Structure 1
Amino acid sequence: MSELKSQSITKEMWQQIEKEMSDGWVNIVFAYKGHELTVNRVRVSESKTCLQVYIDGFIKGEWVSFSGDKGFSDKAPAILPDVWGKKTRAKYNRRFKETMTRIWGKRGVKREYPDLDDSLVFHIPNFSKASVLCRQYKKLEGIELVSAHFVKAEGL
């Protein structure tokens, strides 16, 4: 990443960032641990959008892994779990669990399916709302704002 002029983020700036992300199409750039994070609003479907986070301009499928407990691969940048959203899903759905419990009984199902109550953990670059993204990013130590529309407008 090239050296970018950035500034630490105050409480008032977080409010402005959240408002800007909520409004419309956005392009906000953060700097975090030597990486450039770009947040854009992208189209999910015809009538639905979300905020998507790019790390150094990329989102790569090879970064995501469903094997293991981490939810990301060894090829992923070290900051990925900090800046992408963490999602969990049950390994087996409720209906399957109930059916197997009826068939095997409470003790038998634990013998046959020891991982029945396990969940899958993975990280995705999408955030449904600006408040969710801001809540997660406020906790990051050392994150700095590089560019945003309101910064250009106010001349900060």
Structure 2
Amino acid sequence: MLSKEQKERLTGELTGLFSVVKLRLDGHEITINRVRIAENKTALGVYIDGEIKGEDIGPLTDETRAICRKVWRHRQRSLYKPGSVAKLVKEVGKRRARKIAPDLDKKITLIDPTFNTAGSLVRQFSRLEGLEVVAIGVEQEA
């Protein structure tokens, strides 16, 4: 668990443009860097043992590594777009739409190695048991 002082230091470091934080959890080294998402958009990338494996990104399944489940962001998405659902319901009616697509309201959970804000990252990481701070910025934790 992170102390209040560590949470404040992490948030302060991660809001900067060139932020680097190193943590340790369950024998894995977790590195957090500011990464470029688009031409003028950045996010906080969470690297596990120095890498982000493409096979771990996507829908949350039973094969998803436990460390990814803990440190990456969980996002929920509808299986169908709300506009498509509304159009189908309007055309064929609610009852028939449910027969055509029984999973009309189903949502899937995706895991994503990026966080949009430092606050959301720190909130998720503060709930992790056994999290150890190695370095915040260029300083080394004692």
TM normalised by structure 1 equals: 0.84
Q: Distance in 1 between matches of 2:19 and 2:61?
A: 27
- Structure 1 unaligned blocks of 5 or more: 1-7
| CA-CA distance at 1:27 after TM superposition | 1.2
Q: Distance in 1 between matches of 2:65 and 2:50?
A: 12
Q: Distance in 1 between matches of 2:57 and 2:48?
A: 13
Q: Distance in 1 between matches of 2:19 and 2:35?
A: 9
TM normalised by structure 2 equals: 0.92
Instruction: Please give the root-mean-square deviation of Cα atoms over the aligned residues, in Å.
Output: 1.7
Q: Distance in 1 between matches of 2:21 and 2:8?
A: 14
Alignment of 1:81 onto 2:74: no
Of the three residues 9, 12, 15, the one matched with 2:8 is 15
Alignment of 1:101 onto 2:94: no
Match of 1:46 in 2: 39
| CA-CA distance at 1:13 after TM superposition | 1.5
Of the three residues 24, 29, 34, the one matched with 2:17 is 24
Alignment of 1:63 onto 2:56: yes
Cα pair 2:58 2:112 within 8 Å, conserved: no
Cα pair 1:84 1:126 within 8 Å, conserved: yes
Determine which structure has the larger strand proportion and give its number: 2
Cα pair 2:57 2:113 within 8 Å, conserved: no
C-alpha distance after superposition, 1:60-88 (max 9, x if no partner): 1111343xxxx1462x4321111000011
Cα pair 1:84 1:125 within 8 Å, conserved: yes
Match of 2:29 in 1: 36
Cα–Cα, structure 1 residues 45 and 64, in superposed 2: closer, same or farther, change >3 Å?
closer
Letter of the aligned partner of 1:31 in structure 2? R
Consecutive aligned runs of 4 or more in structure 1 exceeding 6 Å deviation:
none
C-alpha distance after superposition, 1:15-67 (max 9, x if no partner): 0110111022111110011111000001112211110000111111111343x
- Structure 2 unaligned blocks of 5 or more: none
Cα pair 2:9 2:136 within 8 Å, conserved: no
Letter of the aligned partner of 2:29 in structure 1? E
Cα pair 2:19 2:34 within 8 Å, conserved: yes
